[in-house]
């Protein structure tokens, strides 16, 4: 049986893998030491977890938007393409073949287009 080499007690251990950090480059954070590779793995895992959380939030927002859109479509009230609010049947509105807008929104839309130098033509 081979004897196990002993490391001095003051050699830090990696907080992720528990292996000694001998003469390697390492990262220290809040009193913990990490091999560079272990630190990269941990930071990537945190980024992946955050990305997954944001994706789930995005799906929830899409589902809510779909519910609201379906509800508004079922009522057959057009939705203003500028402000996103419904246009009641008894309200005046500006309508094209594709979009509807509140009269005030048309004015705001035209001012925004004019000031930015944009064109409303497709």
Q: What is the mean pLDDT of the chain?
A: 79
> Encoding tokens for residue 17?
């893998």
- Mean pLDDT, rounded, for 68-89: 75
- Mean pLDDT, rounded, for 41-56: 92
First to last CA, the chain: 81
In 3-state terms, what secondary structure has residue 103?
helix
What percent of the chain shows pLDDT beyond 70?
Answer: 74
Distance CA 14, CA 26 (A): 9
User: How many CB atoms are located within 10 Å of the residue 102 CB?
Assistant: 22
Parse the chain into domains and list their residue ranges: 8-74, 76-116
With residues binned 3-state (H G I as helix, E B as strand, rest as coil), the percentages for the chain, rounded to 5, are: 45, 15, 40
> Encoding tokens for residue 98?
């594709």
């Amino acid at each position: 049986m081979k004897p196990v080499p002993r490391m001095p007690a003051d050699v830090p251990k990696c907080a992720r893998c528990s292996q000694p950090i001998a003469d390697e480059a390492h990262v220290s954070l809040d009193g913990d030491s990490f091999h560079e590779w272990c630190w990269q793995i941990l930071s990537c895992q945190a980024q992946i977890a955050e990305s997954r959380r944001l994706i789930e939030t995005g799906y929830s927002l899409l589902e809510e938007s779909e519910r609201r859109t379906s509800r508004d479509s079922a009522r057959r009230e057009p939705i203003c393409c500028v402000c996103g609010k419904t246009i009641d049947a008894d309200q005046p509105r500006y309508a094209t073949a594709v979009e509807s807008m509140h009269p005030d929104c048309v004015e705001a839309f035209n001012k925004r287009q004019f000031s930015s130098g944009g064109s409303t033509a497709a």
